[in-house]
Amino acid sequence: MLAREPNGRSGEPSPPPVTRWVWDDTNLWYPAALAAGRRIERAHDLRLSRAILRRSTLTVGTPLARAPRDAWDQMHPVPTAPVPGLDRPDALFDLGDRRAVSPPDPVGELHRQLEAVATSSGAGRLRLLLAAESAGALVAAEMSHAGLPWREDLHDAMLTGVLGTRPPLGLRPARLEALAEQVRTALDAPALNPDSGPELLKALEYAGVGVKSTRKWDLERVDHPVVAPLLEYKKLSRLLTANGWNWLDTWVRGGRFRPEYVVGGVVTGRWAANGGGALQLPHQVRSAVVADPGWKLVVADAAQLEPRVLAGLSGDLVMAEAGRGGDMYQGIVDAGAVETRAQAKIGMLGAMYGGTTGESGLMLPRLAKAFPRALELVEQAARAGERGEIVTTRLGRSSPPPGSGWEETQGSAYDESASSDAQSRARSQTRAWGRFTRNFVVQGTAAEWALCWMASLRGRLAAMPQARTPGRAPAPFTEQPHMVFFLHDEIIVHAPAELAEQVADEIRAAGTEAGKLLFGDFPVDFPLTVAIVDDYSQAK
C-alpha cells in the first residue's frame, strides 16, 4: 500500500510528494525490491508500529490500546528473503515458514494506528518513533542484502594459524587437541573430554583443584598446573564454536557475511540477531572484514552514549557540560564529583544499571550530589518498577508490565502468615524489576537515538555521488556508499575511497541531527569516534 506525503514548506514550490510504503512486515516485502535493484525511501511497518502503540503509556485510552488482542498482536518477525543465487542456512532460515497469509485489512490497521497516534498524549514523539523504527527495518533489510565484506581466505588463515589445519569432521584441530592432552595430564584423567562441563568439574574436584565451577574467574583464583592450558583451551574452543570453519561455511557466501537482524528484538528497542553472532564479532575475526578494492570501511561509534542520553533525558545541565566535546567520564572527574576516571565510569554504570554495592555503591552519593537531576530520573524509574509500574522512553516506547506472578508474590508476602522466605523472595523480585526499569528508560532512549542516527545517515548516503570504482555489493549498492553493520552504538559504512572523508562527515552530522531530534536545543552532544580503515581490526 502506498501513502503520499507532502514534501515542502507552505508557500514554497513543492517537490514531488514522497512515497511512503505501508506494509505488514518490511522483511516480507522489501527484499524483493532490493533484489530487483530498487531502494525504497520511506516505509511504515505495521507490525513494528503495532507493538509500540499497543504497549505505550502515551496511547492509553485509545481504541487501539483498549481493543482485544488480534492477529496483528500475534505476528512475529519474518526472516529476510535470501539474496538471489545465494543459499541460506536451512536450519535457521526455512523459507517454508515465511508468512503465507498477511493479517487482515492493512488499510484498517493503518487507520487505527494513525488514530492512536493523533489522540495520544505525545503524538509528535510517537510519530518520530514509528518513523525511526520503520527506517531501522529498511536499514536492517539493506544490510542483510548488501552484506558485510568478508575475506574467507583471511579468516581461514587466521583459524589455521591459531588452531592448526582444519581437521576432519568430528575431530579437534591440532592445537586444541594438544591443549586437551595437557589438561588430561595435569588432572591425571586420560579419558577426560574437556568439552563436557560436568565431566571436567568432576575431574577438577578429584584432582583437588578447589573450584566450584569451570568459569574463568574461579579458575584464575587457584594455583594449579591445569589452569593455564585449560583457560587457553576454553578460549580457543569458543573461537572454534562461534566463528570457526563451520560458521564460515554457513554464514559467509560470495565474500559477504549476511546476518539476520531483528529490529526491536529486545524490549528496550535494541536490535537482536537471529543466528550468525552478528552482535558478538570477536576481535580475532575482524581482520577478515576487508573493504572491496578501491573502497574503505568507515567505522563510527558513539562515545559513552547512555550517560549522554541520561543527561538529555533528565535535563541535567551540569552532567551535559561534563560530557561536552570529549570524554564524559573525565569530565565528571574535572567537575569534582570523583577522583578518577575509573570511579566515574563504575559509578555511572551503577547508577544506570542499579549497582548499589562495592565501589559503585560508594560513588552513587557523590554522583547524586553532583548531578541530582540525572540520578533522580533513574531513581524514579527504579521506584516505579518496584511498585510494578510501567516506564516510558523519550519517544514513547514503554516497558512491559511485570510477569503474571508479580501481584501474587507481592501480595502474599505481606500476608500475616507469610514466611520470611516469601518476604525475601518478594523483596528480591521487587529490586530486580526496579533495576530493569531503571535501565529501560536509558537504554531504550539510547536505542531511539541510534535509530534516528541510522535513519538520518541512510538518507545522507543515498544523496552522495556514485563511486568511481564499483564495489562488489549487489545492486542498488554497487556504486553507492551504504551501511553494512550495526551494533547498538556502532556503525560501519562501506564507502568508495574517494568519498570516505565525506561519509565520515555525514556520519557526524547524522549523530548531531539525532541528538536534536530527541532533545531539541538542550546542550547535550554526542561525539563520535570515526575511523577510515581497510579492515575492521584497524578501527580499534
Task: Mention every residue, 6+ apart, whose C-beta is less than 8 A from residue 484.
Answer: 143, 146, 147, 148, 149, 297, 473, 492, 493, 494
- Boundary (domain end) residue, out of 417, 444, 471: 444
For strands 148-149 and 252-253, give the pairing. unpaired
Report the number of distinct structural domains present in the chain: 3
The three three-digit cell numbers of residue 259, written as one number: 546476518
Q: Is 502 exposed, middle or buried (0-12, 13-18, 19+ CB in 10 A)?
A: middle
User: Looking at the structure, do residues 293 and 327 belong to the same domain, yes or no?
Assistant: no
Short-list 524, 490, 487, CA closest to 507: 490
User: Looking at the structure, do residues 64 and 161 belong to the same domain, yes or no?
Assistant: no
Compute CA distances 346 → 64, 340, 349, 453, whole Å.
42, 10, 5, 27
Asked if 490 and 149 touch (Cβ cutoff 8 Å), the reply is: no
CATH number at residue 372: 1.10.150
User: Looking at the structure, do residues 263 and 401 belong to the same domain, yes or no?
Assistant: no
pTM score of the predicted model: 0.91
User: Looking at the structure, do residues 376 and 454 belong to the same domain, yes or no?
Assistant: no
- Looking at residue 142, its pLDDT comes to 98
DSSP 3-state of 179: helix
DSSP 3-state of 71: helix
- Boundary (domain end) residue, out of 444, 466, 496: 444
User: Looking at the structure, do residues 28 and 139 belong to the same domain, yes or no?
Assistant: yes
User: Looking at the structure, do residues 499 and 381 belong to the same domain, yes or no?
Assistant: no
The three three-digit cell numbers of residue 195, written as one number: 568439552
Domain range for residue 196? 152-249
CA distance linking residue 335 with residue 344, whole number of Å: 11
CA distance linking residue 16 with residue 5, whole number of Å: 9
User: Looking at the structure, do residues 286 and 326 belong to the same domain, yes or no?
Assistant: no
For strands 42-45 and 2-5, give the pairing. unpaired
User: Looking at the structure, do residues 244 and 282 belong to the same domain, yes or no?
Assistant: no
Per-residue pLDDT tens digits of the chain, which is 540 residues long: 666 565 544 455 566 677 899 999 999 999 999 999 999 999 999 999 999 999 999 999 999 999 999 999 999 887 765 554 454 444 333 434 445 555 678 999 999 999 999 999 999 999 999 999 999 999 999 999 999 999 999 999 999 999 999 999 999 999 999 999 999 999 999 999 999 999 999 999 999 998 999 999 999 999 999 999 999 999 999 999 999 999 999 999 999 999 999 999 999 999 999 888 888 899 999 999 999 999 999 999 998 999 999 999 999 999 999 999 889 999 999 999 999 999 999 999 999 998 877 888 899 999 999 999 999 999 999 999 999 999 999 999 999 999 777 777 776 666 666 677 777 777 788 899 999 999 999 999 999 999 999 999 999 999 999 999 999 999 999 999 999 999 989 999 999 999 999 999 999 999 999 999 999 999 999 999 999 999 999 997
DSSP 3-state of 148: strand
- DSSP per position, 438-470: HHHHHHHHHHHHHHHHHHHHHHHHHTSPPPSS-
User: Looking at the structure, do residues 12 and 49 belong to the same domain, yes or no?
Assistant: yes
Look up residue 324 and give its amino acid: R
User: Looking at the structure, do residues 39 and 173 belong to the same domain, yes or no?
Assistant: no
User: Looking at the structure, do residues 173 and 206 belong to the same domain, yes or no?
Assistant: yes
- Boundary (domain end) residue, out of 392, 409, 444: 444
Asked if 514 and 312 touch (Cβ cutoff 8 Å), the reply is: no
- DSSP per position, 149-166: E--HHHHHHHHHHHH-SP
User: Looking at the structure, do residues 372 and 453 belong to the same domain, yes or no?
Assistant: no
Short-list 16, 9, 487, 529, CA closest to 271: 487
- Looking at residue 252, its pLDDT comes to 96
Phi then psi dihedrals of residue 359, to 5 deg: -65, -35
Task: Mention every residue, 6+ apart, whose C-beta is less than 8 A from residue 415.
Answer: none
Phi then psi dihedrals of residue 257, to 5 deg: -95, 120
